[in-house]
Structure 1
Amino acid sequence: MLDQDLKTQLKAYLERVTQPIELAAALDGSEKSAEMHSLLQDIVSLSDRITLVEREEPGVRTPSFTIGRPDGSVHLRFAGIPMGHEFTSLVLALLQVGGHPSKEAADLLEQVRNLDGDYAFETYFSLSCQNCPDVVQALNLMAVLNPRISHVAIDGALFQDEVEQRQVMSVPTIYLNGEPFGQGRMELAEIVSKIDSGAAKRAAEKIAAKPVFDVLVVGGGPAGAAAAIYAARKGIVTGVVAERFGGQVLDTMGIENFISVQETEGPKLAAQLERHVRQYDVDIMNLQRAQKLIPGDLIEVQLESGASLKARSVILSTGARWRQMNVPGENEYRNKGVAYCPHCDGPLFKGKRVAVIGGGNSGVEAAIDLAGIVSHVTLIEFDHQLRADEVLQRKLRSLPNVKVIVSAQTTEVTGDGRKVNGLVYQDRPSGESHHVELEGVFVQIGLLPNTEWLKDTVALSNRGEIEVNARGETSVPGVFAAGDCTTVPYKQIVIAMGEGSKAALSAFDHLIRTSAPTQDATRAAA
């Protein structure tokens, strides 16, 4: 099952295992069971601390396997073969069950251990989903730390009947004790906060007690990370407050135009950005959403949690999100057939009919990827021609199960109350409306800046982007901005990083000219 390179890497990791691990497999005569058995045998062959047993258990998904300890104190199961993006989840589960400590914050780990209650989690994932591993790994870790927590990670493509029954049309989808708990990427702290009702209040109180920052970066994407690094290197008190560190990069599959790195993936790059920032004396406040900016000698940023932060200068790098069509049915059927990530959710539509809205690079790439999974793709573009690179258009035209409709405006997503069953588009030249029967709609029509909270505070363009000059300065003294939320053209990772660096240098220059930055001694005392 594993090639020699993977075996060599895995063997090196398993040398860190200090406690015995028992793999218990529930198998049948299927091809997938044979693949799973081969994978488990490979794992067992790499460490004398790991044993494999086959165990028939009524009601247990087949094929599946548990990773546990002989005393039965860990309840962690994979219902599927965790390769692809989930191979890292498999490795981490083996290490953590085997006694290797997690790198999560000590206070967060203790919070998980002290959770009082019985929590049975189920996560539906797809092997091509780059957001799923974060959820799977967080819940696996919780199952390792607390014997009253269990987790089953389920490959939706392998258990299609179950996915249909539960109407799972987006991954990751999480159930807790049989009831829907959450969808989309969630970090450990966010999951724990949803369970522990007092966690958010405690976090807000802790944030409210923070001292004044010299530079406060709002947003943790490439622009925010670069700004934080450049500011911290100047020796000034730097903080980052972010709704999710990594930003939209976390939702990006393949990255092939980041100079000097031939190919990488969004979550991997986001993790590298965070590690780089944490090498410096930067206070990262994650899972916090900014709500209001109040200018003044000390600039205040109020958070949705009720806490507020003050700084001598602020760098806004709140990024952007997928733009919605804003048509009837889109919100009603979001995650019920309306999706925004073809890599994540595409496998759930295997053999079905879908549409892709948008004829730019993102839309055409989505249509090409989906054509290899679904039965048919209808690509709908508002303009009279596709706007994607010619090389992508040639590939698209070569696919037999793709239909392209141009000069068309989507006017409605239709459904049966539970899930999508089609869409309506208007032919722009004739004005005629047409209904297309399908099961999924993937929206790929560009980005919308995350700037609504700044309205009437800083100058925004008619597209909602923060207006900045060549130095990254906004209309408010001491407030700078960088990245996809600004008027700077070409929304690219490498450009956002450069703009974030520039904004930090401009903020430092502003501090030098207007007030003395906090001294190192003051920072150390804080």
Structure 2
Amino acid sequence: MLDANVTQQLKTYLVNITQPIELVASLDDSPKSKEMGALLTDIAALSDKIAVVDGVDARKPSFMIRRVGTDIGVRFAGLPMGHEFTSLVLALLQVGGHPSKAAADLIEQVKNLDGDFTFETYFSLTCQNCPDVVQALNLMAVLNPRIKHTAIDGALFKAEVEERKVMAVPTVFLNGEPFASGRMELEQIVAKIDTAAEGRAAAKIKTKAPFDVLIVGGGPAGAAAAIYTARKGIRTGVVAERFGGQVLDTMGIENFASVPHTEGPKFAADLERHVRDYDVDIMNLQRAEKVIPASEAGGLHEVQLANGASLKTRTLILSTGARWRQMNVPGEDTYKNKGVAYCPHCDGPLFKGKRVAVIGGGNSGVEAAIDLAGIVAHVTLIEFDTDLRADAVLQRKLASLPNVKIITSALTTEVIGDGEKVSGLVYKDRNHDTLHEIELEGIFVQIGLVPNTEFLRDTIALSPRGEIEIDHRGETSRPGIFAAGDATTVPYKQIVIAAGDGAKAALSAFDYLIRNEPVDAAEQELVAAE
């Protein structure tokens, strides 16, 4: 089941197990059960602290990793290979007593959660966002005996997926009821359960002294800016709604110089580790809602957060990034994660054998259509323009596929559903001004990005597209406020460009600091009062 290279790596990891564990297997006569049995046997052979025993779980094939003599454990229903193999390795180590690298205060928060929580997560082996959710919930189950978690391969348990109307991964159920869908980190899951956490975080933030530079956004631009300013020895803070930003939703990265190939979640984790190597105050899961610029050079800018707290800083770097653009048509929000999806790699396997549409004829749309064509029964690609905009090599590949139909000069006007899931869409033929309906089960939207700058309107200059206007130094229309990355007017929204612009904005902010003496706080308040 495991090749020689993986076997040797796994054996090296398993020496970190300090407490004996059991692999409790619930199997039948199916081919997947035989594969699972072989996998568990291979794993047990690598450590004298691991044994395989028979189980009686209703889901077959499945297995529980259980600490011997305790109720501590996690369950996998299906084979945790592909993206989930790392989840399997971590579960083996953590159930086996190896400590987590999560923050100490977060671990303590999980241990203190009061209540009985039974989580079930539906994942896909091709989903790059699923492992973060699976690993977070597995860790919670290890830390707190009142928390249980089962990770379920949706492609293997199709009847459950249909019955529970799961149309996107990861999808999480808590105590039998829908809990969340989409990528979530440990902090986000805990905060959703621990309702008092937001208030505690706000109270903590309110006590923070002003920063020399505050960075809003934790993507490549924000991370690079934090590294550069921290290395200058100045007080640096980062406010991020989710550290890593849109990179977390990126499948493969093959054009970042010196890194031939990586995946978005791994790249984001590496960014965060690098930033944490320095004395940077990272405030994750915090959304900025308003910026109040300083009244004069050398004064303090203020950033107000959604939780009611605010932060002050001598310089500000805005790296808020962008998000997937929506169609903004009737039915889109209603059927989001119920047939309307934005990640073909994550959710594509859930539509195996079904009919889907891809909206958008750029590189992203055409690549999505090509990927989906190998999974689904039929793909209809809908493009607003008269021609596709993707690279010629991608267009040739798409045209060669027998189960793909291309419709150009078409505007999607409505998403149709039966109240529970997507059943079709309506588009307008722009050449003849006629409406047409397509019956299908899934819609993948791939029509570009929109900058996360709505909260900055009337504060700094924005372009007609909502991008932050910057000069060659990354400075905005307000002195002491800089910007970088996909939220700005810089052309070509690429990770390597965002990172470079983040570094440039950081150096510009440092130059601004050394050229502008800080205004005394009491003097600033007096000026403001006048």
TM-score normalized by structure 1?
0.97
Aligned match of 1:15: 15
Aligned match of 1:522: none
TM-superposition CA deviations, 1:222-244 (whole Å, max 9, x none): 00000001111111000101000
**Partner Cα distance (2:319, 2:137) in 1:** 30
Whether the aligned pair in 1 keeps the contact of 2:116 and 2:146 (CA below 8 Å) is yes
Aligned match of 1:524: none
Q: 1:231 aligns with which of 229, 232, 235?
A: 229
Structure 1 residue 73: deviation in Å? 2.0
> Residues 431-450 of structure 1: matches in 2 within 5 Å?
431-450=433-452
> Residues 122-521 of structure 1: matches in 2 within 5 Å?
122-296=120-294, 297-515=299-517
TM-superposition CA deviations, 1:108-128 (whole Å, max 9, x none): 111111111110000011111
**Partner Cα distance (2:203, 2:185) in 1:** 21
**Partner Cα distance (1:169, 1:106) in 2:** 35
Structure 1 residue 477: deviation in Å? 1.0
Structure 1 residue 196: deviation in Å? 1.1
TM-superposition CA deviations, 1:297-323 (whole Å, max 9, x none): 210101101111110000000000000
**Partner Cα distance (2:471, 2:92) in 1:** 51
Q: Letter of the aligned partner of 2:237 in structure 1? A: G
**Partner Cα distance (1:343, 1:74) in 2:** 33
Q: Letter of the aligned partner of 2:431 in structure 1? A: P
SS at match of 2:229: helix
Aligned match of 2:37: 37
Aligned match of 1:2: 2
TM-superposition CA deviations, 1:361-390 (whole Å, max 9, x none): 000010011111111000000011111111
**Partner Cα distance (2:110, 2:345) in 1:** 31
Whether the aligned pair in 1 keeps the contact of 2:355 and 2:441 (CA below 8 Å) is yes
**Partner Cα distance (1:436, 1:126) in 2:** 27
Aligned match of 1:104: 102
Whether the aligned pair in 2 keeps the contact of 1:140 and 1:151 (CA below 8 Å) is yes
Structure 1 residue 483: deviation in Å? 0.2
Structure 1 residue 75: deviation in Å? 3.6
SS at match of 1:190: helix
Q: Letter of the aligned partner of 1:277 in structure 2? A: V
Whether the aligned pair in 2 keeps the contact of 1:292 and 1:302 (CA below 8 Å) is yes
**Partner Cα distance (2:169, 2:359) in 1:** 20
**Partner Cα distance (1:449, 1:249) in 2:** 14
Q: Letter of the aligned partner of 1:268 in structure 2? A: K
**Partner Cα distance (1:234, 1:510) in 2:** 13
**Partner Cα distance (1:200, 1:90) in 2:** 31
Whether the aligned pair in 2 keeps the contact of 1:248 and 1:321 (CA below 8 Å) is yes
TM-superposition CA deviations, 1:270-305 (whole Å, max 9, x none): 011111111111111101011000111210101101
Whether the aligned pair in 1 keeps the contact of 2:314 and 2:518 (CA below 8 Å) is no
**Partner Cα distance (2:178, 2:346) in 1:** 19
TM-superposition CA deviations, 1:447-479 (whole Å, max 9, x none): 000000101001111100000011000011110
Whether the aligned pair in 1 keeps the contact of 2:73 and 2:95 (CA below 8 Å) is no
SS at match of 1:387: coil
Whether the aligned pair in 1 keeps the contact of 2:318 and 2:482 (CA below 8 Å) is yes
TM-superposition CA deviations, 1:173-225 (whole Å, max 9, x none): 11100011111111111111111111111011111111110000000000000
Structure 1 residue 72: deviation in Å? 3.0
Structure 1 residue 517: deviation in Å? 11
Whether the aligned pair in 1 keeps the contact of 2:324 and 2:446 (CA below 8 Å) is yes
SS at match of 1:464: coil
- In structure 2, stretches of 5+ residues that fail to align are 521-530
Q: Letter of the aligned partner of 1:4 in structure 2? A: A
**Partner Cα distance (1:2, 1:82) in 2:** 12
Q: Runs in 1 of length 4+ with deviation above 3 angstroms?
A: none
**Partner Cα distance (2:250, 2:473) in 1:** 28
Q: Letter of the aligned partner of 2:8 in structure 1? A: T
**Partner Cα distance (1:374, 1:144) in 2:** 37
Give the alignment's Cα RMSD to 1 decimal. 1.0
Structure 1 residue 43: deviation in Å? 0.5
TM-score normalized by structure 2?
0.96
Whether the aligned pair in 2 keeps the contact of 1:75 and 1:149 (CA below 8 Å) is no
**Partner Cα distance (1:233, 1:445) in 2:** 38
Whether the aligned pair in 2 keeps the contact of 1:214 and 1:517 (CA below 8 Å) is no
TM-superposition CA deviations, 1:405-458 (whole Å, max 9, x none): 111111111011110000111111111111110000000000000000101001
Whether the aligned pair in 2 keeps the contact of 1:41 and 1:52 (CA below 8 Å) is yes
Whether the aligned pair in 2 keeps the contact of 1:236 and 1:517 (CA below 8 Å) is no
Structure 1 residue 516: deviation in Å? 5.7
TM-superposition CA deviations, 1:140-173 (whole Å, max 9, x none): 0010011111000011111111101111011111
Q: Letter of the aligned partner of 1:291 in structure 2? A: E
Q: Letter of the aligned partner of 2:90 in structure 1? A: L
Q: 1:83 aligns with which of 81, 85, 88?
A: 81
